[in-house]
């Protein structure tokens, strides 16, 4: 497992290992917690990294709580579409 810094957390001293631990629901680092990690991933990471780090099932389950915190309108619309499509057309992927 890679333990270097991730491009989408350029402004924090958080290693990949620490980020994965946060995303998995591990103990927070100060004010950084699972929700912060998920929103950061959804806002700044490319699609393939979102899939690799979070997976479709976690995305669909967490989306209602994370959605209001996504600032990019286009990113939010794209994820709305993906979550809706997964839920209705491809529940087998969840």
Q: Is residue 65 part of a domain?
A: yes
Q: Is residue 15 part of a domain?
A: yes
Q: Cα angle at 83 between 78 and 87, to 5 degrees?
A: 150
Q: Is residue 27 part of a domain?
A: yes
Residue recorded with tokens 């490319």: 46
Assign 5 a pLDDT band (cuts: 50, 70, 90): confident
What is the domain extent for residue 27? 7-93
For residue 1, pLDDT over 70 is answered with no
Q: Compute the average pLDDT of residues 21-34.
A: 96
Q: Compute the average pLDDT of residues 18-28.
A: 96
Q: Is residue 86 part of a domain?
A: yes
Cβ contacts of residue 56 below 8 Å, gap of 6+?
86, 93, 94
Q: Is residue 2 part of a domain?
A: no
43-53: pLDDT as tens digits: 999 999 999 99
Q: CB atoms < 10 A from the CB of 44, how many?
A: 16
Q: CB atoms < 10 A from the CB of 23, how many?
A: 19
Count of domains for the chain: 1
Q: Is residue 1 part of a domain?
A: no
């Amino acid at each position: 497992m890679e333990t270097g810094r991730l491009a989408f957390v350029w402004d924090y001293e958080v290693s990949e290992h620490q980020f994965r631990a946060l995303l998995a629901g591990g103990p927070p680092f100060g004010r950084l917690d699972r929700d912060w990690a998920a929103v950061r991933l959804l806002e700044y990471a490319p699609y393939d990294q979102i899939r690799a780090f979070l997976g479709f099932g976690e995305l669909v389950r967490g989306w209602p709580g994370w959605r209001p915190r996504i600032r990019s309108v286009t990113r939010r619309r794209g994820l709305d579409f993906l979550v809706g499509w997964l839920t209705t057309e491809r529940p087998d992927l969840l």
